[in-house]
Every structure is written in structure tokens, then in C-alpha cells.
Amino acid sequence: MHSSRFVPWKIFYTDTDLSLISANGYKHLLIPCGFYGTPSDIAKVANGNILRAIELCENDETSKQNLENFKTLMRHAWKRDVLSIIEWSEFMATQGRESQKNFLSYSLRLLRENLMLSLGQMPNNLVYLAGEEAEFSVKFHPYITRENIYPLSEEFGLAFSHIEANGYAKAVFLDLALKVTRLIR
């Protein structure tokens, strides 16, 4: 019996070498996605994975909304504005379960990228940010440190598992926001 296995492709290209993408019918990747910018920025964020690059282009608005929700959470948490945090958690509770899980996954990735920035890993090409994410992270990354990354990641992961298990979203997001308020300073 013949068994096949999937081998993921990593595609690294520059703006001058786009023949592989054109030949395989992925010409829509050559059009800059508004959120991530140029094709080379998309390739960087996707870490050379063509399927991830396609997903990033197709979910442009979702990424933009997730970034706005993340920025809002972090700003309210930093200011310790409890009334705004409650409003934010109520807003997040109105989103669908998949959107909530998508936001939490996105937040975990953004925390990781900001930790890499804080650790000075930009020259080592270990930071996968572009466009609006990169602009936000320039000012935000000093607040993510070795001391708070593990508790923050744990809280976002716990919120993800609670949402996945059909937890009461308003309580889950309020609890997450209040814990972030404590951990971000």
C-alpha cells in the first residue's frame, strides 16, 4: 500500500522573484493586502508559508479588527479604566465564538512578537510583524517582558480554553482584562 505524506512548502521570495507565485495561480498575493502591506511583508509575516500568506490576505479585515481589539484592551488595562474594561468585555461577548477564539490566538501571537522585539531579536529575523502591527509594536513592546510574558500567555490561553468550552464570554473576557490590568505594569 502506498502512503503519501504532506510536506509543507516554505517559499522565500523577493519582489523581483515572483515567478513561482504567478505560475501556481496565486497572483492575488502580488496585490498588497492593506493590513500587512507589500508582498514581501506578507511573506515575512507568513514565514514563507504560501498557505498562511493566502490566509493573511483573505482575512485582512479580521486582522485589522483583532489588532484594534487588542490595542483597546491594552490601553484600558494600562489606564486601569475599569468601566471601559467592562464595556470592552461586553463588546467582545457579542462576537461569535470563532471570532473570540481567533482574537485570543491573534493576541498570543502579538504577545510573542512583542517579546521578541523586547529581547532585541529584530536583527535575527525572529520578529514577524508588518504594517499596522509593526507601528503599534514599536511603542508597545517595552511593556512585554520576561517577567510578564508567561503569566500573560497563560491567561490568554486559559481564556481560549474557556471560550472553546462554551464558557460565559462576558465573564471570561472581563476576567482576562482585569488580569491583564494587573500583569501589564
> How many whole angstroms separate alpha carbon 92 and alpha carbon 66?
11
Q: How confident is the model at residue 26 (pLDDT cuts 50, 70, 90)?
A: low
Q: Tens of pLDDT along 44-58? A: 777 777 787 777 777
pLDDT of residue 16: 43
Number of neighbours of residue 50 by Cβ within 10 angstroms: 19
Q: Tens of pLDDT along 73-88? A: 999 999 999 999 999 9
Q: Tens of pLDDT along 117-141? A: 999 997 777 888 888 999 999 999 9
Q: Are residues 74 and 133 in the same domain?
A: yes
Q: Give the three cell numbers for residue 171.
A: 465573564
Q: Which of 20-24, 45-49, 59-63, 144-148 has the lowest mean pLDDT?
A: 20-24
Q: Name the 3-class secondary structure at 33.
A: strand
% the chain with pLDDT above 70? 80
Q: Are residues 128 and 65 in the same domain?
A: yes
147 contacts: CB under 8 Å, gap ≥ 6: none
Q: Are residues 96 and 12 in the same domain?
A: no
Residues found in the chain: 185
Q: Are residues 74 and 53 in the same domain?
A: no
pLDDT of residue 150: 97
Write out the residue range of the structural domain in which residue 155 sits: 60-183
- Residue (of 153, 119, 114) closest to 136 by Cα position: 114
